[in-house]
Amino acid sequence: MEKALTSTTLLLFPMALTMKRLLSILGKPIAFVYTILERQLA
């Protein structure tokens, strides 16, 4: 049980780091688009 948990954590950790990196890269354009959309709707 503990071994499975460790392997799952080892598998999810790099994925989480990749997602974080992707979000930091995509975060700026997404925020930009969101701001534009918010102005259009306001």
pTM reported for the whole predicted model: 0.46
Per-residue confidence (pLDDT) for residue 27, from 0 to 100: 86
3-state helix, strand, coil in the chain (%, to 5): 95, 0, 5
Domain extents for the chain? 1-42
In tens digits, what is the pLDDT along the chain, a chain of 42 residues? 678 888 888 888 999 999 999 989 988 888 899 999 999 987
Rounded-to-integer distance, Cα 18 and Cα 23, Å? 8
Give pLDDT, residue 1: 64
